[in-house]
Amino acid sequence: MKIGITGTGDQRIIALESADRWLDFSRAFQAYRLLKEGSASEPVRDLESLFMTGKMEGHFFRSVTQFLEARHLLESFVINAPERFLRPFRPGKIIALGRNYAAHAAETGHDAPKEPIIFSKSPESCIGPEEPIRIDPTVGRVDPEAELGVVIARKARNVAPEEADIVIAGYTLVNDVTARDMQANDIKQGHPWFRSKSLDTFGPLGPVIALPDAMPSPLEVDIELRVNGEVRQKSNTTKMIFKVPELVAYISRYVTLLPGDLISTGTPEGIAPIQPGDMVEVTVPQIGTLRNPVTPA
């Protein structure tokens, strides 16, 4: 299953892909609550509400669809495949990984790390599919970075690696856009990377969240970044130094993860600059393609 946000204004809905068809989950969940709980309410039109109520988990979506299917009602919520998705959610916090692919560490002149290198990226940097990455010409070189994002479903503290899947809502795509000259200058002065990672529009996210049942286990997926159709980055998550269960365990040892938090798992080799006029695409086949044009700020 995959879940995302589509539509505009009051017509915005939660769309759920289940059994190769798309459903208006906003209306489906409304009907479920009325029939099962006797609760009349307005449709939920954002995923933040589901995170807050602990419902962003695969078994919840299966329960709703199976309940309606058993009553021969599910067909009434089938919709055409959305042509465009909005940003799926606004992360509570973003914890990102540095140098989590050995080849990327090497191309930046570093050895592979002995333990995860974590840093923060501002949630205010996040934009959705087709929204422009805006570059101020005074910033200098700017690079896109294709990354797999791990979306957290429930509060997590000191999670064991073998239990990490319990706290994961699903997976999405992240373009960890980086002001590379700014980053290099900050590192030279002993400053953190936060500024160079957190400029407005430097966090494209989406297009959807693939629930865990849509992903292979173990997690082995191809990841690719293209600029104007040219492949810049091409790798597989098996090449991550620290895999997703290790990352969830490591981060939750020091930082309590909450529903709606995002872990961006690092980028493979192939970094190179972009400029206004470019089109950047990040693809993981099981999730889809995140497309963003580049424009002047």
Asked if residues 4 and 207 have their Cβ atoms less than 8 Å apart, the reply is: yes
Instruction: Look at residue 9 in the predicted model and tell me its pLDDT.
Output: 83
* pLDDT tens by residue, 3-36: 999 998 889 999 999 999 999 999 999 999 999 9
Instruction: Look at residue 10 in the predicted model and tell me its pLDDT.
Output: 83
Q: Return the higher-pLDDT residue of 244 and 41.
A: 244
Q: Does the structure show a pLDDT above 90 at 164?
A: yes
Q: Does the structure show a pLDDT above 90 at 152?
A: yes
Q: At what angle do helices 58-70 and 25-32 cross, to 10 degrees?
A: 70
* pLDDT tens by residue, 242-256: 999 999 999 999 999
Q: How confident is the model at residue 52 (pLDDT cuts 50, 70, 90)?
A: very high
Instruction: Look at residue 39 in the predicted model and tell me its pLDDT.
Output: 82
Instruction: Look at residue 141 in the predicted model and tell me its pLDDT.
Output: 98
- Cα distance between residue 128 and residue 126, in whole Å: 7
Considering the chain, what is the average pLDDT of its residues?
96
Q: Does the structure show a pLDDT above 90 at 81?
A: yes
Q: How confident is the model at residue 38 (pLDDT cuts 50, 70, 90)?
A: confident
> What are the angstrom distances between the C-alpha of 183 and each of 42, 46, 116, 148, 227?
45, 34, 19, 21, 21
Q: How confident is the model at residue 41 (pLDDT cuts 50, 70, 90)?
A: confident
Over range 145-149, report the average pLDDT.
98
Which residues does 29 contact at the CB level (< 8 Å), separation at least 6? 14, 43, 44, 64
Asked if residues 113 and 245 have their Cβ atoms less than 8 Å apart, the reply is: no
Instruction: Look at residue 98 in the predicted model and tell me its pLDDT.
Output: 96
Over range 90-105, report the average pLDDT.
97
pTM (two decimals): 0.97
Which domains, and CATH codes, for the chain?
2-79 (no CATH), 94-296 (3.90.850.10)
User: What does the H/E/C string look like for the chain?
Assistant: CEEEEECCHHHCEEEEEECCEEEEHHHHHHHHHHHHHCCCCCCCCCHHHHHHCCCCCHHHHHHHHHHHHHCCCHHHHEECCCCCCCCCCCCCCEEEEECCEHHHHHHCCCCCCCCCEEEEECHHHEECCCCCEEECHHHCCEECCEEEEEEECCCECCCCHHHHHHHEEEEEEEECCEEHHHHHHHHHCCCCCHHHHCCCCCEEEEEEEECHHHCCCCCCCEEEEEECCEEEEEEEHHHECCCHHHHHHHHHHHCCECCCCEEECCCCCCCCCCCCCCEEEEEECCCEEEEEEEEEC
Instruction: Look at residue 99 in the predicted model and tell me its pLDDT.
Output: 96
Asked if residues 192 and 70 have their Cβ atoms less than 8 Å apart, the reply is: no
Instruction: Look at residue 15 in the predicted model and tell me its pLDDT.
Output: 98
Over range 179-202, report the average pLDDT.
95
